[in-house]
Structures are given as structure tokens and as C-alpha cells.
Amino acid sequence: MTASRPALLAGADRAAAAHGSILMKLAGICRAAGQPRAALEAVHRALAIAPLDFTALLLRASLLDRLGEPSAGEAWGHAIAQRPEDPLPPQILQVLAEGERRHAAWLDAREARWAAGMADAEQRASADERARIARFRSNALRRTRPYHSEPTHFSFPGLREREFHPRSPFPWLAAIEAETGTIAAELDAVMAAERAELVPYIQYAAHQPLRQWQALKRNPDSTAIHRCARRPRPPLDGAPRPGTTGAPPKPISPLPARGPAIPPHVGVNNARLVCHLPLIVPEGCWFRVGAETRHWRRGEAFVFDDTIEHEAMNPSDRLRVVLIFDLWHPDLSEIEREAVAALIGSDAANAPAAP
């Protein structure tokens, strides 16, 4: 009776695993006998069977380090990338900690070499160009990674993906920043008035298939004033703010105060960007978009793409207030803006009422 093909393959896998285990034991014997080259050859043969095996990669890096090979730093990085989630024994943790130091030193040396080669170009670059060049270098070193726009509902093709957008396309930002005190005073008046209503910033039906805002859903510690009853301050009139047909844009002042983090999430529509104007900022409040983290500072506005993963933290127990409003993405033409507004407006007008 012949064995089935799946059984044969399973047997081959077991044989390969057993062979890899034997090779790793051989590598250990050779290392203990003072034969690092022979040990490295055995490890390489084991990695040919299981290229992502953490133990084999860790042993390879330590052997290359022992042999003084220039590739040891990169090898440590390969091992670190495969670190298992399960707890590791103290001996392995000690080796891994040393490997992390070695890898960091290798990255620093590599970055210095690259920076020296790029110095002439960077000296002639604008501030925005220098920031992008630095991020290119950081991505290449794997210290940061690329983040992309991932809107949950509406994805317009061909738009530039920027975590934080430069200020130059938004010359009206300075006028809005100059009104920080006035806007903050207006907010105080709205909050003090009887008609001011603080509502949870994130609200949706419990049965909806959404998870990214679950921690904030109807959370009274993360609230907002929807400033629709009062006209926004005049500086906002210069901002290209989107609105759907029959539904004008409404700036809001969310108040995620007294501790709760806003977990990593993405927005619904990449045809618009978001502007933040911090009004009340306790010490240590930060905001991350993609791989870049900024600290909010009162009166310093910035524009970002909320369809790129972002999160926020207020580490204090004090109130934080940030004025938030939407902007059209600058890559959209007038006709494209009109089409986006019509589509989203039609979608909203025909949405079924929540049960």
C-alpha cells in the first residue's frame, strides 16, 4: 500500500526538521570546540532548511561577530526581526540584548556613511525636502517604515500620501494661529452656555462591524462640541474646507481629556485632510501620524492625512482641547471636489436610519 502524497510531504517536512535540528547540534559542538567557521557552515545549512529560524539566526549573528565579519551587524538585525513573542530564557535575553547593541551601532555607522554621501544634496535642499530625504534614509535603515493611506470608505486615486503636510500649500494657517486666543475665548463661552452640548466624539451603533474605535465608542472622557450653531471665526473662511451637497462643513472641538489614549486608527475619506489647532494643551500631549510623532503646542496648527494610521495621547489628568476641521486634499481639482461632494452627499442622503 503506497502512502498518499500529503503523507509523503509531511514525512519529508519531519525529516527536514530533524535534519535541521541535527545541524544546529553540530553547530553547537563545533562552536564549543573552538571551530567557529565549521559551526557557521552548519548553521548556514540549517538556515537553508528553515531560513527564518530565530535560534539559527541568533547563532549565525554571534558567530559572525566572533569571527569579526563586517556583516555581523546586519545579521543581528535579521535575528532581532524574528524574535518570538513567547518569553525567552535569561541566557538568550542576554545574548539578544548584546545583539541589539551591536545592531544599533551598525545602523549608526551605516547612517553616518549615508549622511556623508548625501550631505551636498541636503545642504541645497529646502526644509521640506530635507525632511523627506531624512525619512528616506530612516526607511532604508528600517528605523521607520512606509505608511500608506487606507481610508475605510472613500478612496480617491492618485493623491499624494503625506503623514504631516507641509505648511506652504496652506498660507491661511498663520491667520488661524493668530486667532488662537479669540477662538479659545469663544469656546469658553460656548461651553459655559446652556445650549453647549458635550457629546462622545466617537458614536456608532453597537452592531456595526467596526473595531478601531471600540475603546472610545460613546466614551464620556472623549467628547466634542460640534460648532454648528455658531459661525466659525473668519480666518476659517480662507481654508478650502469640504462639504457635501446640502451639508456645510462643521468644525468641531474634541475634548479627549483626562487620560484616555486615542488608539491607532484611520479615517474614512482620503479626499480631505484634517487640520488641528491646539487650544489647551497639558504637558506631554502627543500625536502620531505614521512614523512621525509631534507634540501639540498651543497655537501651532498642522495639517495631516487622517487616512494614514494615527493615534494620540494625553498623559495628564487635565483637559486637552484641539480645534479640528477638514480641508480638501490640495491635489484635487475643482471638478473632482464637486464629484466627491456629490457622491458622499448622495450616500449620506440615502443612508438608512439606524434602528
Give the per-residue pLDDT at 20: 84
3-state secondary structure the chain: CCCCHHHHHHHHHHHHHHHHHHHHHHHHHHHHCCCHHHHHHHHHHHHHHCCCCHHHHHHHHHHHHHCCCCCHHHHHHHHHHCCCCCCCCHHHHHHHHHHHHHHHHHHHHHHHHHHHHHHHHHHCCCHHHHHHHHHHHHHHCCCCCCCCCCCCCECCCCCCCCCEECCCCCCCHHHHHHCHHHHHHHHHHHHHCCCCCCEECECCCCCCCCCCCCCCECCCCEEEEECCCCCCCHHHHHCCCCCECCECCCCEEEEECCCCCEEEECCCECCEEEEEEEEECCCCCEEEECCEEEECCCCCCEEECCCCCEEEECCCCCCCEEEEEEEECCCCCHHHHHHHHHHHHHHHHCCCCCC
Report field, pTM of the whole predicted structure over 0.85: no
Helix axes 54-66, 90-123, angle to 10 degrees: 70
**Grid cell listed for 280:** 489647551
CATH topology for the 13-111 domain: 1.25.40
Give the per-residue pLDDT at 346: 84
Least Cα distance to 198 among 207, 208, 187, 185 occurs for 187
Give the per-residue pLDDT at 90: 94
- pLDDT tens for the chain, 355 residues long, are 454 544 433 444 455 556 888 999 999 999 999 999 999 999 999 999 999 999 999 999 999 999 999 999 999 999 999 999 999 999 999 999 999 999 999 999 999 999 999 999 999 999 989 999 999 999 999 999 999 999 999 999 999 999 999 999 999 999 999 999 998 888 877 777 645 555 555 555 665 665 655 555 545 555 555 554 444 454 566 677 776 544 444 455 555 455 568 899 999 999 999 999 999 999 999 999 999 999 999 999 999 999 999 999 999 888 888 999 899 999 999 999 999 999 988 876 665 554 4
Least Cα distance to 222 among 259, 186, 183, 264 occurs for 259
**Grid cell listed for 270:** 482620503
Give the per-residue pLDDT at 9: 38
Residues of the chain with CATH 2.60.120.330: 164-204+212-349
Give the per-residue pLDDT at 229: 44
Contacts of 24 (CB under 8 A, 6+ apart): 42, 43, 46, 55, 56, 59
**Grid cell listed for 267:** 479615517
Residues of the chain with CATH 1.25.40.10: 13-111
CATH class of the 164-204+212-349 domain in this structure: mainly beta
For residue 225, how far is the Cα from the chain centroid?
Answer: 27
Q: Is the dihedral of CA 147, 148, 153, 159 positive or negative?
A: positive
**Grid cell listed for 256:** 479627549
Tell me the one-letter amino acid at 124: R
By the 10 Å C-beta count (0-12 exposed, 13-18 middle, 19+ buried), 43 is classed as buried
d(Cα 199, Cα 226) in Å, to the nearest integer?
A: 8
Q: What are phi and psi of 156, to 5 degrees?
A: -90, 130
